[in-house]
Structure 1
Amino acid sequence: MKSKIINFGSINIDHVYRVPHLVKPGETLSSLDLVTGLGGKGANQSVAIARAGVSVAHVGRVFKGDRWAVELLASTGVDTDNIALIEGASGHAIIQVDDQGENAIVLHGGANQSFSIADIESALNHNQQARYLLMQNETNLLAEAFELAQEKGIKIVLNPAPMTDNIKDLPLAKLDTLIVNRGEAEALCGAADIDQMTQQMAALAPQTRVVVTLGGDGAMLLANGEVTHMNSPSVDVVDTTGAGDTFVGYFLAGVAEGMNDHDALQRACLAGSIAVTRQGAIKAIPDRSEVNR
């Protein structure tokens, strides 16, 4: 099946250690449990797109010993032909979680930071039918991928997480869609008040569809000078990990299917609200039939 979306995104291996308390400087602490699983914003968003029923080709890199991660992505329906197995370490996170639910995380970019321009060119050439390129901010060469996609007439969707100063150097006004949370929007435009934020984002990218996720308050969409606010259903929150990635994947899937902005926003909010009622990231992402129900 020809992919409608290319996701140039991170693949992380998450090592989650359960500990009685977060490790103190100079302390050696035995963990109570260890869970190793697939993570990374890129991988999460690709799975969300696939579970929303839209074809997606993931462009990524992992250590050759982590082939299981690629196989897991493929099992969810993601096209993994453009994921390279390399000698260097995969991107990974060392995560401590204590008895109170507090966490401390050490993140290593690894393979996610080792792309060459040739890798991106090859992926775009092998997926010429794709209409959208999705990017986050956990890989290198964002600016170069942006330029190459523009040359090919591919619409670009950016979820700049985690937010860093280099994002402001990208030609954001040329994006098709920018998806940010409240903190990222504030960092971009320097306004905390939602009305001021709306005005600033409109000035920053006047031709771009801007979506701001607001957690339990739903999401806001700004397009063509009009603002749409969508509430999220009230649910019992268990774990918010990956909820934002679920939203991004479902929203872009809706747009790629030809949904209007209102319906795509509504479905994304519903998908995100389901995800937070479950533990974990990828395993919490609902499939299309659940959201439709």
Structure 2
Amino acid sequence: MIWNLGSINADYFYHLPHLPAPGETIAAMSYARGLGGKGANMSVAAARAAARVSHIGAVGSDGRWAVTRLLEYGVETQHIAQVSAATGHAIIQIDPAGENSIVLFPGANHVISDQLIGTALTEASPGDILLMQNETNGQVFAAETARTLGLRVVYAAAPFSAEAVVALLGKFDLLVLNAVEAAQLLEATGKRLVDLPVDDVVVTLGSSGCKWVSNKGKTEQEFAAYPVTPVDTTGAGDTFTGYLVAALDRGLPMAEAIDLGMRAGALMVMREGTADVIPDLKDIQDHDFG
């Protein structure tokens, strides 16, 4: 089972003729609201990948619809608290090429109590997976608790913070980050990926594919990307991670788990939206990637 300490956001989408320059006012061509946040995206992706996932998080009184939506998508929601802070939200601007610019308000995602995290993880079993990102508080407490209880810890280090990664070094088993974040981590710590105290590192490389560094196995493997025409890149990395973790939870080898995540991410960039449009396992199995 997967326990995801993750953000829950209302995503506000604005399709624009182009991303605005500083000081520019521009009219949107369309608007929509959807469920998002890296945590919610990953929970939905893992559930759609046929994993059992329980989300640990918080919303405000304005976010009850988001909890209901998660439940409808197959995510267990009993460890999502309602707090006095407003629900987190993101303003997502998308240009015709599918590139995006995002403004994020953390809100309730930053007032998750240690008690909530601890209560949730007492229900976990050894061998379960704790998944975390950087859009909530409580990661260090959660990781230490999970390790004590015999859980595997997966850390998707986004939005990237070198300080957050350093605080968690030695407390997670798998690190997932993109190429820019990997370069920032090297600059901040002076440590190469092979020198980090972590069993496995997965680096997403966008249209160039993915790289897996196994420090435990002393190997490195690259994976070519699946060729697709992107419509919207929002949420593709979260979809990849959710599918990757779900596959590992089902006992698939890392290489197969990465491949499944890459196929899910490739299908995701051909869709507009975030959690509401994440593909399910049948979508991926039925799609001809060439």
Identify the residue that residue 276 of structure 1 maps to in structure 2. 269
- Could you say if the C-alpha distance between residues 104 and 122 of structure 1 is closer, same or farther in structure 2, counting changes exceeding 3 Å? same
What is the match of residue 58 of structure 1?
55
Relative distance call for 1:33 and 1:106 in structure 2 (3 A) is: same
Match of 2:228 among 206, 223, 235: 235
Which 5+ residue runs of structure 1 have no aligned equivalent?
192-196
Inter-CA distance 30–215: structure 2 relative to 1 (3 Å threshold): closer
Match of residue 119 from structure 2: 122
Q: Which amino acid aligns with 1:56?
A: V
CA contact (8 A) 2:236 2:266 kept: yes
Change (3 A) 1:79 1:186: same
Structure 2 length-normalised TM = 0.89
Q: Conserved in 2, the CA contact under 8 Å of 1:218 and 1:229? A: yes
Q: 1:29: Cα distance to partner?
A: 6.7
Residue 129 of structure 2 corresponds to residue 137 of structure 1:
no
Aligned with 1:89 (options 86, 89, 98): 86
Query: Given residue 162 of structure 1, which amino acid in structure 2 is its aligned partner?
Result: P
For residue 203 of structure 2, the aligned residue among 212, 216, 229 is 212
CA shift digits 1:132-163 (9 cap, x unpaired): 10000000121111111122111110001011
The answer to whether the 8 Å contact 2:62/2:86 transfers is no
Displacement of 1:28: 7.2
1:194-251 Cα offsets, whole Å, 9 max, x none, are xxx9x8101113x411111111111111111111111121111111111101110111
Asked whether 1:288 is paired with 2:281, we answer: yes
When the two structures are aligned, how many residues end up with a matched partner? 282
Separation in 2, partners of 1:110, 1:158: 21
Structure 2 residue 255 is the aligned partner of structure 1 residue 258: no
2:144 is aligned with 1:147 = yes
In 2 relative to 1, CA 208–100 (structure 1 residues): closer, same or farther, beyond 3 Å? closer
- Counterpart residue type for residue 202 of structure 1: V
Match of 1:172 among 169, 172, 182: 169
Q: 1:202 aligns with which of 187, 191, 194?
A: 194
Q: Does 1:12 align with 2:40?
A: no
Q: Percent identity, aligned pairs only?
A: 41
Contact 1:18 1:32 in 2 (8 A): yes
The one-letter amino acid of 2:212's match is: L
CA distance in 2 between partners of 1:162 and 1:127 (Å): 26
- Report the alpha carbon displacement of residue 174 of structure 1 after superposing the two structures with TM: 3.8
Amino acid aligned to 1:271: A
Residues 231 and 113 (structure 1 numbering): CA distance in 2 closer, same or farther, change over 3 Å? Answer: same
Aligned to 2:43: 46
Structure 1 stretch displaced more, 170-179 or 76-85:
170-179
> 1:182-204 CA deviation, whole Å, 9 max, x = no partner?
0111111239xxxxx9x810111
Aligned to 2:237: 244
SS state at 1:77 partner: coil
Aligned AA (2:213):
L
Gaps of 5+ in 2: none
Look up the SS of the partner of 1:273 in the other structure.
helix
